[in-house]
């Protein structure tokens, strides 16, 4: 049996039954890492020794007969913008090349309590800013399906690691599509939960009002199991909502049933419009047809004000980023320029040398949009556009249980293709940013291949707090599309 071929839940079961030891699982992952990393570069930091120590401790707990969850002993990779105590966390930036957190993020604490084994920290676009993982200071990650192509981003390392079986599961973060788009490009499943349902405590902030930590796995079941672990209210995060406390244990695993009868699914015409790759469109429509065949009610509808989505999103994200990234000033931690004269010079040089081009572009964009005289024209207007989008989605979810569309307008691009043209890169977020602007949950699941042999992603969105609907529909799709 090749351990790496198992799903996370299958592995968890084998570990519970003591068919496979936790150490064997960890060794299997590291074998794959050793084999693939020189080509793919999914990880910024791997922690072999730490993983073995964790494995030993978890094995002890299992052997003592401690009741543990379905994922106990399963190796997982964590995106490098999620704080891990005593394990370097860089956000793929030179700015944090030496930053070792003094505390665990809430999500990681939950993973550790549940006995998952952290293999290392995965590569990403610097501070999450990018859609290709090419803005990383630590080199690009390559798409396991075609190493001349990008894995998508910003959680490119996490998605590529799952696709290449360098881990069984991964945590990603999604500010504008950063879990879903690389999941689509890498042919894995990734879910962005409702804003406020997974604690952001310990997630290094980029766009605070937009981002969530979410699960990435080989299939819907694995994602559901991991989501169940990290979901829930955290008093350390003031934006974490009380509503998610209502979900009883097992609510997501319990949704893994093959039934979409009577489900109302809407497809926004705008998601199928100009700019969408024909092969992607065909796959998505085929998936929609599949839902219909299995008893769902599918229809097209129109979303208003779609053209404002991308500019509004980039203003809000950049404004928040310009403030969130202020703290990287060379004073307390991280990179400090070697030579400087006085405080202002230290700030200027440290930030000039420590940040990459895309990060600097967004800090400047955000600082400009927030500056006095422009605040009303940009930031306030973007907030208003966001409110309109929320209203538009409320209307849509009054009619539909799910909104279906492509995760990204294309499949994975060639390395370097998008880097020269940031506007083109921003436009690629068109399908994913609505879930961040409105806070609703969304999932990307594989829905076939294009003629180049590259995976295509299908995106489903549900109303806030309806991860259950999302998981059930995605799981059902996974089943009937296999058949």
When binding is defined by CB under 8 A, the residue of 7, 13, 16, 208 that contacts another protein is 208
**Residue 346: both structure tokens together:** 């230290």
CB of 194 closer than 8 Å to CB of 203: no
- Binding pattern to another protein, positions 306-325, x when CB under 8 A? -------------xx-xx--
21, 29, 32, 79: which is the annotated catalytic residue?
79
237 lines the binding site for another protein (CB under 8 A): yes
When binding is defined by CB under 8 A, the residue of 18, 63, 103, 399 that contacts another protein is 103
Select from 1-9, 51-59, 136-144, 199-207 the region that touches another protein (CB under 8 A): 199-207
Is 142 one of the annotated active-site residues of the chain? no
- Binding pattern to another protein, positions 273-312, x when CB under 8 A? ----------------------------------------
When binding is defined by CB under 8 A, the residue of 145, 201, 252, 397 that contacts another protein is 201
202 lines the binding site for another protein (CB under 8 A): yes
209 lines the binding site for another protein (CB under 8 A): yes
Residue (238 or 420) nearer to another protein, CB: 238
Residue (105 or 469) nearer to another protein, CB: 105
Select from 30-38, 234-242, 295-303, 417-425 the region that touches another protein (CB under 8 A): 234-242
456 lines the binding site for another protein (CB under 8 A): no
Residue (131 or 240) nearer to another protein, CB: 240
Quote the least distance from Cβ 83 to another protein, whole Å. 4
Is 79 one of the annotated active-site residues of the chain? yes
User: In angstroms, how far is CA 240 from the centroid of its own chain?
Assistant: 18
Is 154 one of the annotated active-site residues of the chain? yes
Please list every residue from 63 through 102 that binds another protein, using CB under 8 A: 82-83, 89, 91, 96, 99, 101-102
138 lines the binding site for another protein (CB under 8 A): no
11 lines the binding site for another protein (CB under 8 A): no
- Which spans of this chain sit near another protein (rule: CB under 8 A)? 82-83, 89, 91, 96, 99, 101-103, 105, 200-205, 208-209, 235-239, 319-320, 322-323, 326-327, 329, 331-333, 343, 347, 367, 370-372, 375, 379
Catalytic residues: 79, 154, 178
């Amino acid at each position: 049996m090749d351990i790496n071929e198992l799903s996370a839940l299958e592995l968890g079961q084998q570990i519970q039954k003591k068919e496979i030891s936790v150490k064997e699982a960890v060794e299997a992952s590291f074998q794959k890492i050793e084999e693939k990393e020189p080509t793919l570069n999914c990880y910024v930091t791997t922690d072999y020794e730490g993983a073995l120590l964790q494995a030993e401790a978890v094995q002890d707990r299992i052997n003592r007969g401690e009741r543990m969850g379905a994922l106990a002993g399963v190796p997982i990779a964590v995106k490098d913008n999620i704080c891990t105590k005593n394990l370097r966390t860089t956000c793929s930036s030179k700015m944090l090349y030496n930053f070792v957190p003094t505390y665990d993020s809430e999500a990681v604490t939950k993973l550790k309590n549940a006995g998952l084994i952290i293999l290392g920290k995965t590569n990403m676009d610097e501070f999450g800013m990018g859609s290709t993982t090419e803005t990383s200071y630590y080199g690009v990650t390559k798409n396991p399906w075609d190493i001349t192509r990008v894995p998508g981003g910003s959680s490119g390392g996490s998605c590529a690691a799952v696709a290449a079986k360098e881990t069984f599961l991964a945590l990603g973060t999604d500010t504008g599509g950063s879990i879903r788009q690389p999941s689509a490009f890498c042919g894995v499943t990734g879910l962005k939960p409702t804003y406020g349902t997974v604690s952001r405590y310990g997630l290094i902030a980029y766009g605070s009002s937009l981002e969530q930590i979410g699960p990435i796995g080989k299939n819907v079941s694995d994602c559901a199991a991991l989501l169940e672990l990290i979901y829930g209210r955290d008093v350390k995060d003031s934006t974490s909502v009380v509503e998610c406390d209502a979900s009883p244990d097992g609510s997501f695993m319990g949704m893994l049933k093959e039934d979409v009868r009577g489900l109302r699914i809407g497809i926004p015409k705008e998601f199928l419009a100009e700019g969408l790759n024909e092969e992607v469109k065909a796959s998505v429509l085929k998936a929609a047809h599949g839902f219909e065949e299995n008893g769902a009610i599918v229809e097209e509808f129109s979303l208003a004000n779609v053209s404002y989505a991308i500019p509004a999103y980039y203003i809000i994200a950049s404004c928040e980023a310009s403030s969130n990234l202020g703290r990287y000033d060379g004073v307390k931690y991280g990179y400090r320029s070697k030579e400087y004269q006085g405080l202002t010079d230290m700030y200027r040089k440290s930030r000039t040398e420590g940040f990459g081009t895309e990060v600097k572009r967004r800090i400047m964009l955000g600082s400009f949009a927030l500056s006095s005289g422009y605040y009303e024209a940009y930031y306030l207007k973007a907030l208003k556009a966001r409110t309109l989008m929320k209203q538009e989605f409320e209307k849509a979810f009054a009619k539909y249980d799910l909104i279906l569309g492509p995760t990204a307008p294309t499949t994975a691009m060639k390395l370097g293709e998008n880097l020269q043209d940031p506007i083109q890169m921003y436009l690629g977020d068109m399908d994913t940013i609505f879930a961040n602007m409105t806070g609703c949950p969304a999932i990307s699941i594989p829905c076939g291949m294009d003629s180049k042999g590259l995976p295509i992603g299908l995106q489903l969105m549900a109303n806030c707090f309806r991860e259950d609907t999302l998981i059930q529909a995605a799981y059902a799709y996974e089943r009937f599309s296999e058949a």
